[in-house]
């Protein structure tokens, strides 16, 4: 078996997945704290991995033979690299680095502008659904990533994340409270917090549904499946009739595909 560690560093959370080939041994989520040090992260990683049964770990680097990472938080990259060196005796390969080949052409004007997580999601979606395919990722930002009929990364859309929008509203309006994004059965809120939740939820539902309809009005994407992922997708995907499948682990699945190509 080939044991691989996969790391998705997002603006809010870092997600770690430990795999033996296709079998996921563990998945953990840590906060993407700006003040996090390599020593602190190494200590946390040792604790998380030690929580696995003895049959899943060994004393030397926990049996990991390769680490693949996608990061959109550059200041945490050296922290992760040093922590992995301490714990596993190796550093990660980062999606977007010259030595990591994704097998996907990028049609952006400047391919370096595309977030690593977006490319990884596109790679995973194309592998699972073919091309064309549309990926909706609901996280700190809400993004659409489009894989063309030719299998290229065609581009996409970037929107404020649902919780980011609510936080901005509360921050700019003195009398509005901070509330979390949540599904709402009510269209008409009966108090301020309920009104904010109803407004943000239904605006997101109708806004995302409208974007999907516009994308599918483009002839080459009319039959493209829509796959949803991201930490907030579970709160809204049930109301999005045009979403074909919810894949919470899509980013890890894409990292696993790339890791298996690079660590033979």
User: Pairing relation of β-strands 153-160 and 141-147?
Assistant: antiparallel
Task: Output the domain CATH number for residue 76.
Answer: 3.30.420.40
By residue range, what is the domain housing residue 161?
111-250
pLDDT of residue 60: 60
Beta-strand (E) ranges in the chain? 3-9, 13-20, 23-31, 66-71, 93-94, 133-138, 141-147, 153-160, 226-229, 245-246
Please indicate, yes or no, whether residues 65 and 152 belong to a single structural domain of this protein.
no
Angle at 247 between CA 241 and CA 251, to 5 degrees: 135
Please indicate, yes or no, whether residues 53 and 128 belong to a single structural domain of this protein.
no
- Residue by residue, pLDDT tens for the chain (264 residues) are 689 999 999 999 999 999 998 899 999 999 999 899 999 999 999 999 888 765 444 546 788 999 999 999 999 999 999 999 999 999 999 999 999 999 999 999 999 999 999 999 999 999 999 999 999 999 999 999 999 999 999 999 999 999 999 999 999 999 999 999 999 999 999 999 999 999 999 999 999 999 999 999 999 999 999 999 999 999 999 999 999 999 999 999 999 999 999 997
- On whether the CB atoms of residues 80 and 127 are closer than 8 A, the answer is no
The tokens describing 257, both together, are 């595909």
Please indicate, yes or no, whether residues 86 and 137 belong to a single structural domain of this protein.
no
Please indicate, yes or no, whether residues 171 and 132 belong to a single structural domain of this protein.
yes
The tokens describing 193, both together, are 């917090």
Catalytic residue among 39, 58, 77, 117: 117
- On whether the CB atoms of residues 145 and 137 are closer than 8 A, the answer is yes
CA–CA dist 215, 17 (Å, integer): 32
- On whether the CB atoms of residues 183 and 238 are closer than 8 A, the answer is yes
pTM score: 0.93
Sign of the CA dihedral running 263, 17, 82, 231: positive
CA–CA dist 183, 3 (Å, integer): 38
* Tokens 């970037």 -> residue: 158
The tokens describing 152, both together, are 């290229």
Please indicate, yes or no, whether residues 7 and 43 belong to a single structural domain of this protein.
yes
pLDDT of residue 62: 82
User: Pairing relation of β-strands 23-31 and 13-20?
Assistant: antiparallel
Please indicate, yes or no, whether residues 89 and 219 belong to a single structural domain of this protein.
no
Spell 144-171 as b/e; 16+ CB within 10 A means b: bbbbbeebbbbebeebebbbbbbbeeee
117 catalytic? Reply is: yes
| Residue finishing a domain among 64, 94, 124 | 94
Residue 153 DSSP SS3:
strand
């Amino acid at each position: 078996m080939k044991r691989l560690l996969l790391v998705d560093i997002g603006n809010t959370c870092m997600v770690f997945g430990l795999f033996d080939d296709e079998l996921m041994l563990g998945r953990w989520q840590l906060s993407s704290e700006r003040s996090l040090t390599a020593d602190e992260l190494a200590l946390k990683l040792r604790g998380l991995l030690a929580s696995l049964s003895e049959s899943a770990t060994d004393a030397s680097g926990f049996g990991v033979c390769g680490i693949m990472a996608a990061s959109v938080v550059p200041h945490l990259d050296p922290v992760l690299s040093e922590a992995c060196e301490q714990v596993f005796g190796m550093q990660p390969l980062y999606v977007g680095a010259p030595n990591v080949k994704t097998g996907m052409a990028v049609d952006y004007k400047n391919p370096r502008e595309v977030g690593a997580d977006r490319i990884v999601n596109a790679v995973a979606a194309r592998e699972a659904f073919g091309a064309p395919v549309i990926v909706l990722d609901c996280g700190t930002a809400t993004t659409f990533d489009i894989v063309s009929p030719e299998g290229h990364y065609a581009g996409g859309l970037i929107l404020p994340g649902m919780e980011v929008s609510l936080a901005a509203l509360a921050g700019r309006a003195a009398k509005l409270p901070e509330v979390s994004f949540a599904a709402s059965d009510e269209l008409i809120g009966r108090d301020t917090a309920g009104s904010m939740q109803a407004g943000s939820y239904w605006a997101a539902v109708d806004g995302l549904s409208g974007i999907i309809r516009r994308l599918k009005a483009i002839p080459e994407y009319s039959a493209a499946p829509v796959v949803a992922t991201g930490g907030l997708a579970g709160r809204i995907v049930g109301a999005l009739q045009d979403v074909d499948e919810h894949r919470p682990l899509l980013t890890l699945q894409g990292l696993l595909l790339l890791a298996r190509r690079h660590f033979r």
